[in-house]
């Protein structure tokens, strides 16, 4: 398209090598890529179940809902696992992605907060299927402690530290009310946990080195509402900037967030 961009075919490896070596197995896999790897893995498992031996980047990208160039670049960060003219071996690629994501080992997960959401999570099949094992269910409510859910007996949160230490829990899912989340978070990080999946609608404060991922239903809905509104009337209404009253939004309209 732009012939001018084509440089004379001079060997390029004579550049100054002050930069760090790119190295196929570089530790620096972009976050955006990491976030897509599970998607590829899921698509590959679908292909595997149907017995497909190999797949092209085009087809796999289609199944995962991404651009094929992006897929190839993502996979190139793991190594050169494809065969030109053929594609990727499905089983082999499943193994490589699984290994990169750390799914070839077993992860003990504890769920704190066994309300509606906690129960749903405990019963969710997707956990066990890929190296994640629920090692404990904990709740602060004595009425819930002792219940049997998904084959586990709910324990009291007093046991939090001993459960984490005793069962080598490395990932904690927080499904408590918003008010309890930070306290639970403090305790589990103090106990050495460095990976947290938070469902409570609060911003968790964590020490350096601790990873928090957040799942927030209410935020997702609000983002949808924004786009929906824009679709409905080419953008927000230019209406008055402050509808009459002084206190039109007051305390109790929100905050019941849990």
Partner DNA sequence: GTGCCTTTGTGAAGCTACGCACAAAGTGAG
Partner DNA sequence: CTCACTTTGTGCGTAGCTTCACAAAGGCAC
Residues 155, 25: Cα–Cα separation, whole Å: 42
Q: Does 41 bind a copy of itself (CB under 8 A)?
A: yes
Binding track, positions 26-55, relative to DNA; x by CB under 7 A:
----xxxx---------------------x
- Judged by CB under 8 A, which of 76, 83, 179, 222 binds a copy of itself? 222
Q: Does 76 bind DNA (CB under 7 A)?
A: yes
Count of residues of this chain found to bind a copy of itself when the rule CB under 8 A is applied? 107
Binding track, positions 55-94, relative to a copy of itself; x by CB under 8 A:
--------xxx-----------------------x-xx-x
Q: Does 253 bind DNA (CB under 7 A)?
A: no
Strand partners, 196: 172, 212
Q: Does 92 bind DNA (CB under 7 A)?
A: no
Residues 247, 233: Cα–Cα separation, whole Å: 27
Q: What is the gyration radius of the CA atoms in the chain, in angstroms? A: 24
Residues 105, 146: Cα–Cα separation, whole Å: 30
Q: Does 65 bind DNA (CB under 7 A)?
A: no
Q: Does 208 bind a copy of itself (CB under 8 A)?
A: no
Helix (H) or strand (E) holding 16: none
What does 80 interact with, of DNA, a copy of itself, none (CB < 5 to 8 A by kind)? DNA
The per-type count for the chain, helices as H runs and strands as E runs, is 9, 11
Nearer to a copy of itself, 89 or 186 (CB): 89
Q: Does 83 bind DNA (CB under 7 A)?
A: yes
Q: Does 56 bind DNA (CB under 7 A)?
A: yes
The closest of 74, 127, 130 to 104, measured between CA atoms, is 130
For residue 5, the SS3 value is helix
Task: Transcribe 20-58 into DSSP letters.
Answer: PP--TT-S---HHHHHHHHHHHHHHHHHHHTT--EE-HH
Residues 199, 175: Cα–Cα separation, whole Å: 5
Residues 156, 162: Cα–Cα separation, whole Å: 11
- Judged by CB under 7 A, which of 39, 48, 63, 81 binds DNA? 81
Q: Does 248 bind DNA (CB under 7 A)?
A: no
Q: Which stretch binds DNA (CB under 7 A): 75-83, 188-196, 199-207, 212-220?
A: 75-83
- Judged by CB under 7 A, which of 42, 46, 53, 67 binds DNA? 67
Nearer to DNA, 74 or 155 (CB): 74
What does 58 interact with, of a copy of itself, DNA, none (CB < 5 to 8 A by kind)? DNA
Tokens of 212: 């928090």
- Judged by CB under 8 A, which of 73, 133, 183, 230 binds a copy of itself? 230
**Dihedral angle at the C-alpha atoms of 144, 216, 213, 177, nearest 10 degrees?**
-30
Tokens of 81: 């696992």
Binding site for DNA (CB under 7 A): 1-2, 5-7, 9, 12, 19, 22, 30-33, 55-58, 66-70, 72-73, 75-76, 80-88
């Amino acid at each position: 398209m732009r012939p001018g961009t084509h440089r004379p075919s001079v060997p390029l490896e004579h550049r100054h090598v002050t930069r760090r070596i790119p190295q196929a197995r570089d530790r620096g896999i972009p976050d955006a890529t990491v976030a897509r790897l599970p998607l590829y893995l899921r698509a590959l498992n679908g292909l595997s179940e149907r017995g497909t031996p190999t797949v092209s980047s085009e087809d796999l990208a289609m199944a995962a809902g991404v651009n094929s160039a992006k897929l190839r670049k993502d996979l190139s960060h793991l190594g050169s696992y494809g065969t030109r003219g053929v594609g990727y071996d499905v089983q082999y690629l499943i193994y490589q992605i699984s290994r990169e994501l750390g799914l070839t080992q077993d992860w003990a997960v504890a769920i704190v907060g066994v309300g509606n959401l906690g129960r749903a999570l405990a019963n969710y099949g997707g956990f066990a299927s890929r190296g994640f094992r629920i090692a404990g269910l904990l709740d602060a409510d004595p009425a819930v402690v002792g219940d049997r859910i998904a084959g586990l007996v709910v324990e009291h949160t007093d046991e939090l530290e001993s459960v984490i230490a005793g069962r080598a829990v490395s990932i904690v899912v927080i499904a408590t009310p918003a008010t309890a989340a930070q306290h639970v978070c403090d305790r589990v990080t103090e106990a050495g946990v460095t990976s947290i999946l938070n469902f409570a609608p609060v911003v968790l404060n964590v020490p350096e080195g601790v990873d928090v991922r957040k799942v927030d239903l209410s935020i997702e809905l609000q983002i949808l509402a924004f786009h929906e509104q824009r679709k409905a009337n080419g953008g927000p209404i230019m209406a008055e900037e402050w509808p009459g009253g002084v206190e039109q939004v007051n305390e109790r309209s929100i905050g019941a967030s849990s």
